[in-house]
Amino acid sequence: MSTGLEIDPRLDLFEEIARLKKEKNAVILAHYYQDADIQDIADFIGDSLQLSQEAAKTNASIILFAGVHFMAETAKIISPTKKVILPDMAAGCSLADSCPPEAFKAFKDKHPDHVVVSYINCSAAIKALTDIVCTSSNAEKIIESIPKDKKIIFAPDRNLGAYLKKKTGRDMVLWDGACMVHEIFSLEKLLRLKERHLAAEVLAHPECEAAILDHADFIGSTTAILNYALQSEKKQFIVVTESGILHQMRKAAPDKEFIPAPPNANCACNDCPHMKLNTLEKIYLCLRDESPEIILDEALRVAASASIERMLAISK
Ligand code: 13P
Ligand code: SF4
């Protein structure tokens, strides 16, 4: 595998990436949690649903996914004939890791008459054990598409699951997983911040704990949070999600103030360490070498694709 040491320091990485993209008919899909520079070179920036819809319809030969492993894997599941590359294979996800397939299979077997809905932040093996995938932007719609008399398992995020139970009134069995970034926000610090910014609206991602969500003026996916802030008449916002989203917010509304919510410790833990493994250097090498590539066992891919296709059909 390539290392950053091979890069000629005189290269203009922005130019080189643009050249390689054209030469190789490649597209760069980036999640909002990527660094500002990466968002700026991307062809498409979006939340998990938009990224999977984009992966399904692109005409590019190569998809470079500036995000984490489950996102690139989802792109490969949907677009098997395309080469899908991920700048750093170690870019995982604590939420996806909190749901190992063997343990989930045993959990599912204990609830045989349940429809399984899984948040897209899970592995292909979990998607293969799932009836319908969802993202934070369509989760409510997906739950509501299931007949009222059907019992539901929701995996792997207990916070999003608890939020959906409250919103939809459905009594779902929840897998006990969580995201390390969204669980780290401090309620005490958020309340102090709110006191200092009385006019600010609190915008939160549903992966946060209920105690945080109880103090939010708006709860939604990264795209929904961004759109809400842009159309709101308010000028100040406390943003309770990964810090990468602030780049697009500040770019689109330079007259508004976006304040990142404080984490528990004095650290940068509202930066996702997995998302932040991607760098411009790694993106350049990944495009140049067309590696690391997502390779999936075909039987697993086919098994996982049905649950994503159902989600895409419901979300049209
Ligand atoms: P969305 O962008 O779909 O809101 O997902 C957030 C997230 O945690 C991605 O890892
Ligand atoms: Fe996973 Fe959380 Fe990072 Fe998203 S922010 S990739 S859910 S660890």
SS3 label, residue 85: strand
Q: What is the pTM of this model?
A: 0.95
Cα 114 to middle of ligand 2, angstroms = 26
Identify the residue whose C-alpha is closest to ligand 2 atom 5.
272
How far apart (Å, rounded) are the C-alpha atoms in residues 112 and 266?
Answer: 45
Please choose, from the candidates 10, 81, 31, 68, the residue with its C-alpha nearest in 3D space to the C-alpha of residue 305: 81
Tens of pLDDT along the chain (316 residues) come to 455 457 899 999 999 999 999 999 999 999 999 999 999 999 999 999 999 999 999 999 999 999 999 999 999 999 999 999 999 999 999 999 999 999 999 999 999 999 999 999 999 999 999 999 999 999 999 999 999 999 999 999 999 999 999 999 999 999 999 999 999 999 999 999 999 999 999 999 999 999 999 999 999 999 999 999 999 999 999 999 999 999 999 999 999 999 999 888 777 678 999 999 999 999 999 999 999 999 999 999 999 999 999 999 998 8
Mutate to test the pocket of ligand 1, among 53, 74, 121 (most ligand atoms within 8 A of CB): 121
Contact predicate 175/116, CB 8 Å: no
Pocket of ligand 2 (CB under 6 A): 33, 68, 93-95, 121, 179-181, 242, 272, 274-275
Give the domains, in start order, of the chain with CATH numbers. 13-91+275-295 (3.40.50.10800), 95-179 (3.40.50.10800), 185-260 (3.40.50.10800)
